[in-house]
Amino acid sequence: MLTIVWDVDDVLNDLMAQWFLHGWLPSHPDCLLTYRDLTGNPPHAALGVDRSEYLSSLDAFHKTDRGANLTPSAEVLGWLSREGHRFRHIALTARPLETAPHVAHWVFRHFGAWIRCFGVVPSRTGCDIPSYDTKKAEFLAWLGRGDILIDDSPENIRHAQAIGLKALMPRQPWNQSGLTMHDLLENLTRMADSL
């Protein structure tokens, strides 16, 4: 049985779209960009601000009710209901450590029937906590589990492939993937069929 490692934000949910619509635009009414214009992740260059301003806005959004209660991807949930039993599942996120308990709760509340393992690679660390891994691939190499990484970051995809994982990247404005989520999930089904 293959093990799928799922990125959380912008794979199992639509964090960036929700942040942009409900976090960024209301406080920046002069912004003329659309979500599709966010061609970098982080998108601070497209927004014309420094990285710290973007991160402050995202961090504030994480603490809102909307940010803490994102709607899970109906497409992924539907696929898991039909095909999820054919795989093992891990969630792996890169977020500030202080948001990890909330996102872990979110993952298990919505995806806990399938996802039984949760990992976090802190996206920003202070000097008072140990730094074990700085990249998802480092975490996965240490864990020694996982066959397929699903992630929206081209960098995470490249690193996962470098350590021998298959990697699938759903289309987002900041990546060049040709895979819709539907296509990606169909690929997973074919992988299970080929075993």
For 59-81, write each residue's pLDDT tens digit: 999 999 999 999 999 999 999 99
pLDDT of residue 4: 98
Position 158, amino acid: R
Cβ neighbours for 8, distance < 8 A, ≥ 6 positions apart:
91, 92, 93, 95, 103, 106, 107
pLDDT of residue 128: 80
| Spatial distance between the Cα atoms of 2 and 38, rounded to a whole number of angstroms | 33
pLDDT of residue 140: 96
For 7-58, write each residue's pLDDT tens digit: 999 999 999 999 999 999 999 999 999 999 999 999 999 999 999 999 999 9
pLDDT of residue 183: 97
Q: What are phi and psi of 125, to 5 degrees?
A: -125, 145
> Other C-beta atoms within 10 Å of 75: how many?
14
For 172-190, write each residue's pLDDT tens digit: 999 999 999 999 999 999 9
Q: What pTM did the predictor assign?
A: 0.95
Alpha-helical regions (H) of the chain: 15-19, 25-27, 44-47, 51-62, 65-68, 74-83, 100-111, 136-143, 154-162, 181-193
DSSP letters of 105-129?
A: HHHHHHHTTTEEEEEE--SS--TTS
For 103-152, write each residue's pLDDT tens digit: 999 999 999 999 999 999 998 766 688 888 999 999 999 999 899 999 99
pLDDT of residue 113: 98
End-to-end CA distance of the chain: 8
CA 64 vs. chain centroid, Å, equals 19
| Spatial distance between the Cα atoms of 140 and 17, rounded to a whole number of angstroms | 27
